[in-house]
Amino acid sequence: MADLKKATAIISGLLAKDKVAGFLALRMVAGHPVPYLFTKPEELDGLYLGEVRYPVTKLLIRLARKYPDNSFGILARACDERSLVELYKNQQLDPEKVTFVGVACSGELAEKCECFRPYPSRIDIGEKVECQEDDARVREIEAMPEKERHRYWMDQFTKCIKCYGCRNICPVCFCPSCTLEDHDLVHLGGMPPQIPIFHLVRAMHMADRCIDCGLCEEACPADIPLRTLYRKVRETVKHLFGYLPGESTEDFPPLEVLGEGTFEIGEAGKSSRS
């Protein structure tokens, strides 16, 4: 495959010239694509460019902490790049020490992911395809009468087995002390989870941070439509503050500094600012 050849050439170049100490991507091991730090060009025979996704940018944080003087390379799709933006902004990674190789996603993957922009700011591998943001699920739930909508979400949250998978897999969840482990809000080490506090706390925290990668929903054993919920809060923040996470390291997350004025979220979450 041409893409694989090209990616191998770029990455071995980075490794051979010592531009990076290691390159984090997926490698085929025993029949499964799994996260792996490539440190030698000859390991690249197993490089994987397919559709399986892991939160590689989050995995990089641990390496970067242990080796703060080293630079690392990473294979980044558009969603990975958006998470990099958030991780830079929140001082979890140093942009000077990360080199990304941009991968444009196929139309099929973009459709599967309901992606709004399936290519990174710089495309090294793959062809750019455009797609429409698919917000049908948000609109469908929004159209329900309030009582029914409330019932819908409560029914969904009831399925939760409190695995913390949504938080653990999320590339932009990195807080050393997590509110979902706060004794005052969540009963630790017990079931059932506090409904709906557990889920709404997370939704609130994602409102100006979620980069809409969908990994949480993929990791949820209870099939709770988490991404739909986070899309709604993202949308609310976008309407109120004109802010979208993952776009630029210059923009400041608005919920950290609310500033002057009042903000109102009305019926069906339609927001206004005065």
Partner 1 sequence: MEYRTIQTTCTYCGCGCGLLLEVMDEGLVGTLPLKTHPINEGTLCIKGWNVHEFVESDRRLRYPLVRKDGDFQEVGWEDALGMVASRLMGIRDKFGPDSIAFLSSAKCTNEENYLLQKLARAIVGTNNIDHCARL
Which residues of the shown chain bind ligand SF4 in the complex (CB under 6 A)?
Answer: 53, 77-79, 105, 109-110, 113, 115, 118, 160-166, 169-172, 206, 210-216, 219-222, 224, 226-227, 230
Separation of alpha carbons 126 and 247, rounded Å: 21
With tokens 């090209």, the residue in question is 6
Q: Which is nearer to partner 1, 4 or 219 (CB)?
A: 219
Contact indicator for 71, 23 with CB cutoff of 8 Å: no
Name the minimum Å distance from CB 139 to partner 1: 27
With CB under 5 to 8 Å by kind, the binding choice for 224 among partner 1, ligand SF4, none is: ligand SF4
Q: Give the residues across from 264 on adjacent strands.
A: 272
With CB under 5 to 8 Å by kind, the binding choice for 70 among ligand SF4, partner 1, none is: partner 1
Question: Between residue 40 and residue 69, which ones bind partner 1 under the rule CB under 8 A?
Answer: 52-54, 59, 62-63, 66-67
With CB under 5 to 8 Å by kind, the binding choice for 32 among ligand SF4, partner 1, none is: partner 1
Question: Between residue 79 and residue 98, which ones bind partner 1 under the rule CB under 8 A?
Answer: none
Contact indicator for 73, 23 with CB cutoff of 8 Å: yes
Q: Which is nearer to ligand SF4, 62 or 66 (CB)?
A: 62
Separation of alpha carbons 74 and 25, rounded Å: 6
User: Tokens for 266?
Assistant: 């009305």
Q: Which is nearer to ligand SF4, 73 or 114 (CB)?
A: 114
Q: Which is nearer to partner 1, 24 or 211 (CB)?
A: 24
Q: Which is nearer to ligand SF4, 64 or 169 (CB)?
A: 169
User: Tokens for 108?
Assistant: 């099929």
With CB under 5 to 8 Å by kind, the binding choice for 41 among partner 1, ligand SF4, none is: none
Site pattern 102..141 for partner 1 (x: CB under 8 A)? ----------------------------------------
Long-range contacts of 105-112 (CB under 8 A, 24+ apart): 105/77, 105/78, 105/129, 106/51, 107/131, 108/51, 109/51, 112/51
Separation of alpha carbons 189 and 99, rounded Å: 40
Q: Is 32 a binder of partner 1 (CB under 8 A)?
A: yes
Name the minimum Å distance from CB 19 to partner 1: 15
Separation of alpha carbons 37 and 11, rounded Å: 12
Site pattern 146..185 for partner 1 (x: CB under 8 A)? ---------------xxxxx--xx----------------
Residue (of 263, 172, 270) closest to 254 by Cα position: 263
Tell me the torsion sign for CA atoms 239, 130, 248, 11. Answer: positive
Cβ contacts of 102 within 8 Å, gap of 6 or more:
76, 77, 81, 119, 120, 121, 122, 123, 124, 125
| Interacting residues with partner 1 (CB under 8 A) | 21-22, 24, 29-30, 32-37, 39, 52-54, 59, 62-63, 66-67, 70, 161-165, 168-169, 218-221
